């Protein structure tokens, strides 16, 4: 049975850990609030931009009379996967779920060559030890998600696709649903194709030709999709860390209660033993 000193040390250690996890939970909650506001504010713009491009492609003559490099459909021989993971740990199963989804994607496309564009330190560390081609690394970008970073990634990806170095581009990120729910999501990024489920073409009237619209809007669409995915991933990471630290704080409290009970029982046993020794000694002197 542990001594009283050992139990007191363990209780003090767990209390210190509980203070750290409680502080990390509060920090993550504050960061999540800002990240959630950014995600919700950017979703309407990204959705409307997609609707505009869908309407142009779905309109009469929208697919005829012009050709854009980012619309080229080729037989996929080389695929690029933009993998968004976290830069830090201590966030429950957030990174594990993303890496698991990436493994499923690689198994599904094992018949073609897949390159990885790794955004986030955890994904970089995981695949740096494995035999997969890595086309680029972007680490320490989620502490403050900046549009310029997303723009650099989107420009690189678009240029490689236009130069026919890759035949398709996919985004893998954790979609923010709520503070308690994050869903690993894979979406095709390039080539852009019209969404068959949306047929709202009559709401838009354009004064320019489809060629001019796509020349200015399609690169911006790729830019915004990458930026939106980064915002979603950052919000998901903060929410997962907040939930993990809340669970850790609760578990630390339960451990403190258990150790305190053991400490009280040990003290009681020690006092009882001392009383018995005193009574026995007094009885021996009579």
pLDDT tens column, 184-234: 999 999 988 766 555 554 466 667 777 777 788 888 999 999 999 999 999
Active-site pick, 53, 70, 91, 150: 91
Strands 78-84 and 113-119: parallel
Whether 61 is catalytic is no
What is the C-alpha separation between 228 and 92, in angstroms, rounded? 23
The residue count for the chain: 286
Number of domains in the chain: 1
Per-residue pLDDT of 125-174, as tens digits, reads 999 888 889 999 999 999 889 999 999 999 999 999 999 899 999 999 99
Judge contact between 190 and 161, C-beta under 8 A.
Answer: yes
Q: Using the 8-state DSSP alphabet, how is residue 120 labeled? A: S
Cis link prior to 191 (omega < 30° from 0)? yes
Q: How many CB atoms lie within 10 A of CB 282?
A: 9
Q: Does the residue 152 lie in any domain?
A: yes
Residue that has been written with the tokens 């950052």 in this structure? 234
Domain housing 111: 26-196+203-243
CA geometry: angle 95, 151, 161, nearest 5 deg: 90
Range with lowest mean pLDDT among 43-47, 52-56, 82-86, 114-118: 52-56
pLDDT of residue 63: 54
pLDDT of residue 165: 92
Q: Does the residue 157 lie in any domain?
A: yes
Q: 121 pLDDT band (50/70/90 cuts)? A: very high
Q: Does the residue 95 lie in any domain?
A: yes
pLDDT of residue 275: 81
CATH number of the domain residue 168 falls in: 3.40.1380.10
Q: 254 pLDDT band (50/70/90 cuts)? A: very high
In the predicted structure, residue 15 carries a pLDDT above the cut 90: yes
Q: Does the residue 158 lie in any domain?
A: yes
pLDDT of residue 266: 84
Q: Does the residue 91 lie in any domain?
A: yes
Q: Does the residue 147 lie in any domain?
A: yes
Mean pLDDT of the chain: 87
């Amino acid at each position: 049975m542990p001594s009283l000193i050992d139990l007191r040390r363990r209780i003090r250690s767990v209390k210190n850990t509980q203070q750290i996890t409680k502080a990390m939970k509060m920090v993550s909650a504050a960061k999540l609030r800002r990240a959630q506001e950014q995600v919700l504010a950017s979703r309407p713009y990204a959705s409307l931009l997609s609707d505009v491009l869908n309407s142009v492609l779905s309109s009469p003559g929208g697919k005829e009379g012009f050709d854009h490099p980012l619309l080229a459909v080729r037989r996929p021989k080389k695929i690029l996967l933009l993998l968004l993971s976290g830069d830090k740990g201590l966030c429950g199963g957030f990174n594990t779920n993303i890496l698991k989804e990436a493994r499923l994607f690689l198994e599904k496309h094992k018949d073609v060559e897949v390159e990885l564009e790794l955004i986030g330190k955890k994904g970089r560390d995981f695949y740096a030890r494995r035999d997969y081609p890595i086309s680029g690394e972007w680490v320490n970008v989620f502490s403050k998600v900046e549009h310029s970073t997303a723009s650099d990634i989107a420009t690189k990806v678009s240029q490689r696709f236009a130069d026919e170095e890759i035949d398709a581009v996919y985004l893998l990120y954790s979609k923010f649903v709520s503070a308690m729910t994050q869903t690993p999501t894979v979406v095709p990024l390039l080539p852009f194709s019209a969404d068959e489920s949306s047929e709202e073409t009559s709401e838009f009237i354009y004064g320019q030709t489809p060629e001019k619209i796509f020349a200015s809007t399609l690169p911006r669409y790729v830019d915004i999709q990458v930026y939106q995915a980064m915002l979603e991933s950052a919000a998901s990471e903060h929410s997962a860390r907040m939930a993990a630290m809340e669970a850790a704080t609760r578990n630390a409290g339960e451990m403190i209660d258990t150790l305190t009970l053991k400490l009280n029982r040990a003290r009681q046993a020690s006092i009882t033993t001392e009383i018995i020794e005193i009574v026995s000694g007094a009885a021996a002197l009579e």
